[in-house]
Chains A and B, each alone.
Chain A
């Protein structure tokens, strides 16, 4: 069986990494990332309503991000810049629901405290980063770069934290699925 946490980490990789910043065409489009998210949520072992909601949310984000990519390819700049920030906000809300689901799955299990700590730091860093980017629009040019840099740094930290959490969950799941060999 495929590991859901690997799909989730792949999803965040696709959403976060934008190669167009380095002058390379973006071969990791965001909608593919949300596709990975939807598949990862589908694989998660739960029958809670949150699973259905977050999966539907991921599907909505696939459509929205695909439209945004389309506007970028067509060269509609104003809609693209506003849309990028709007989808960033939607991603934070989506991650909140995803963490609610993960907290429900890991309730009274070894990774419960790690899930909770990751949730706390991830959400705080992502929202603070978003607020920093939002206020950077109206701040003087010489401070603007610093504020934007701090915001990006906070979001990068949240990304690394989620990757680390996914790796730990992946290892835990592999350990659980490993067939136990009884000694003779």
Chain B
């Protein structure tokens, strides 16, 4: 019996005293730290924002210098009056959302950091985007107007011609 206890004590002494939970938690912590470290290094908010801003600036500069257009207008082309109204509403909603976001950031009291830089980059993106869209819209309108002049202007729709016709009709009826 005594020998049995001695053996047991020896076994206990030789046992590697490892707490599995503790080991697991430390491993998990290390993993989490590694992952967090990786994410902050690879894709921070600054890098995510810098790429589209730089691209938009380059596109804009190319457009201004070469006078060429990009075929983005067809994707966002709106035809009917209802859609035109929707477009204006969207513009106003976006404008107010951005303004509210900017007001929120500054009235909250941020002086530095990502959110402050975000307000600058978002307003710059909004300006560049609007300029590009206006450029396309203007080109589209000028094409439509030239088509209208060629087909209808001299025949039916010209209001001056219609007025003259009506006056002639009235004179004939009077005679």
Chain A contacts to B: CB under 8 angstroms = 78-79, 82, 85, 89, 92-93, 96, 100, 103, 116, 119-121, 123-124, 127-128, 130-132, 134-135, 137-140, 143, 147
Asked whether, in the complex, the Cβ of B99 is within 8 Å of the Cβ of A134, the reply is: no
Whether B49 is near chain A, meaning CB under 8 Å from some CB there, is: no
- Which of B109, B119, B124, B134 is A138 in contact with, Cβ under 8 Å? B134
Whether B58 is near chain A, meaning CB under 8 Å from some CB there, is: no
CA–CA, A127 and B103, complex, Å: 9
Asked whether, in the complex, the Cβ of B102 is within 8 Å of the Cβ of A124, the reply is: yes
Given contacts A103-B111, A123-B106, A137-B130, contact A131 B99 (CB under 8 A): yes
Chain B contacts to A: CB under 8 angstroms = 64, 87-88, 91-92, 94-95, 98-99, 102-103, 105-107, 109, 111-112, 116, 119-120, 123-124, 126-127, 130-131, 133-134, 137
- Which of A127, A138, A139 is B123 in contact with, Cβ under 8 Å? A127
Within 8 Å CB of B126, what residues of A? 131, 134-135
CA–CA, A100 and B113, complex, Å: 12
Given contacts A89-B123, A138-B91, A139-B91, contact A131 B107 (CB under 8 A): no
* Least Cβ–Cβ distance between B64 and chain A, in angstroms: 7
